[in-house]
Amino acid sequence: MKRVRFSPRSSFARTLLLIVTLLFVSLVTTYLVVLNFAILPSLQQFNKVLAYEVRMLMTDKLQLEDGTQLVVPPAFRREIYRELGISLYSNEAAEDAGLRWAQHYEFLSQQMAHQLGGPTEVRVEVNKSSPVVWLKTWLSPNIWVRVPLTEIHQGDFSPLFRYTLAIMLLAIGGAWLFIRIQNRPLVDLEHAALQVGRGIIPPPLREYGASEVRSVTRAFNHMAAGVKQLADDRTLLMAGVSHDLRTPLTRIRLATEMMAAEDGYLAESINKDIEECNAIIEQFIDYLRTGQEMPMELADLNSVLGEVIAAESGYEREIATDLQAGEIPLRIHPLSIKRALANMVVNAARYGNGWIKVSSGSEASSACSRSRTMALASSRSSASTCSSRLCAAIAPAAPAAPAWGWPSCSVLSITITVGWR
């Protein structure tokens, strides 16, 4: 079963995830700090004030700081009820007034009980206008005190939420922009590296960004310049080698012109070898000049094999043939086919010490050519190597051009059999 990876792969995604995680942790930490050092102390102070108000309203006498008992007139208490919006309800009336929607808070109940000196139940109702605190104390167990918090509105928290969200989005957007700017040199470096891999030397990259990225870019520019210098030196070297090779070939051609008439067959064979050497040299020069393989061309495989067989056959070597009837059209490198087949024939003659047979054909089940030997002294490794070279010089299946009138051929099969007479 393939393991699923949830971690991001790119440095951009990892850095952005790290920044978002740190931002979230900082928000949670800020919330906890504000809750414990600002909100909870204020809430305790609020509970203390509310407890004094409830004690004053639920009792007839109020004890002052010097211990004096002060009688609270009923008119004064009613005035306080009216100013603070406090109202008293029985158990049944409180349920209808909104107590059923209120939520019990054990933390507030314990604090209020500590302030009032007896069991107290605190519930908080959150409605559309403002929160409402419901209290039931041991001073009047059958009465619920309703205290509306008119200074707190639901809409007061909306700006806080919007500002917090805006700050988070700005922080994430700034982090995304910063990381994108930091990674832009790496993207340019990636594109340039891909061009070098395709054999194209790009112009020197501009060195910008962080110091580490500038160092990497500078090293890449040095490497690209070195690769370009090596390619230029190779081209110059091959051009010199080709010139040096053509000089003796020209002298050999001049010598064949001076041969006697009875040696015309030998002179013609030598001239063919010279032309093939020149073609091979031109192919290497063209490859070095363009930096890529020469395009394949549509050719008759039997004709190419016939040229090789004619060049390799002689008085001391006889090559039997079993070529497919008609023409075999393929998109191939003729020179590559000739070199590979000539190598196979030479190895067969060198290690087989017997007769050689070359056969060609097309089939639909195999996609590479085969080489088989029947001699006891044959070399299977050499045959396999030559066969691989021959396969590399053959293009995939391609229909023949209509002007030639050839049938389509999908797979090439060439077999060289070596054995005793």
Count of other CB atoms within 10 angstroms of residue 152: 12
**Six-digit token pair at 246?**
């053509």
Task: Give 415: exposed, middle or buried? Use CB within 10 Å, 0-12, 13-18, 19+.
Answer: middle
Q: How far apart (Å, rounded) are the C-alpha atoms in residues 280 and 404?
A: 27
| DSSP bridge pairs for 361 | 413
H helices of 35-58, where?
40-58
**Six-digit token pair at 385?**
């190597």
The conformation of residue 261, written as its DSSP 8-state character, comes to G
Q: Is the dihedral of CA 357, 360, 363, 369 positive or negative?
A: positive
Q: How far apart (Å, rounded) are the C-alpha atoms in residues 278 and 134?
A: 106
Q: Considering the chain, tell me which residue range(s) the CATH 3.30.565 domain(s) occupy.
A: 296-419
Q: Are strands 319-322 and 355-362 parallel, antiparallel or unpaired?
A: parallel
- Calculate the dihedral angle through the C-alpha atoms of 389, 391, 393, 398, rounding to the nearest 10 degrees: 180
Q: How far apart (Å, rounded) are the C-alpha atoms in residues 416 and 374?
A: 10
What confidence score (pLDDT) does residue 408 get?
A: 37
Q: How far apart (Å, rounded) are the C-alpha atoms in residues 215 and 343?
A: 49
What confidence score (pLDDT) does residue 113 get?
A: 84
3 state DSSP class of 21: helix
Q: Are 205 and 221 in contact (CB under 8 A)?
A: yes
**Six-digit token pair at 53?**
């108000």
pLDDT in tens, the chain (421 residues): 455 556 666 777 778 788 888 888 888 888 888 777 777 777 777 777 777 777 766 666 666 666 677 776 777 667 777 777 778 888 888 888 888 888 888 877 888 888 777 888 888 887 766 788 888 888 778 888 888 876 665 555 567 778 878 888 888 888 888 888 888 888 899 899 998 888 788 899 998 888 888 899 999 999 999 988 888 887 778 777 777 777 788 888 888 888 887 778 888 888 888 888 888 887 777 666 655 555 678 888 888 888 888 877 765 677 888 888 888 888 887 777 777 787 787 777 777 766 788 888 776 543 334 334 333 233 333 333 333 334 333 443 333 333 333 333 334 445 555 444 3
What confidence score (pLDDT) does residue 363 get?
A: 65
Which residue in the block uniquely carries the two structure tokens 């004096």? Answer: 68
**Six-digit token pair at 36?**
């414990």
Question: Domain 296-419 class?
Answer: alpha beta
Count of other CB atoms within 10 angstroms of residue 334: 18
What confidence score (pLDDT) does residue 392 get?
A: 35
Global pTM reads 0.41
Residue 395 has phi, psi (to 5 degrees) of -80, 165
What confidence score (pLDDT) does residue 222 get?
A: 93
How far separated are the first and last CA of the chain, in Å rounded? Answer: 58
What confidence score (pLDDT) does residue 270 get?
A: 86
Q: Are 62 and 56 in contact (CB under 8 A)?
A: yes
Q: In what order do the strands lie in the sheet with 412-419?
A: 319-322, 355-362, 412-419
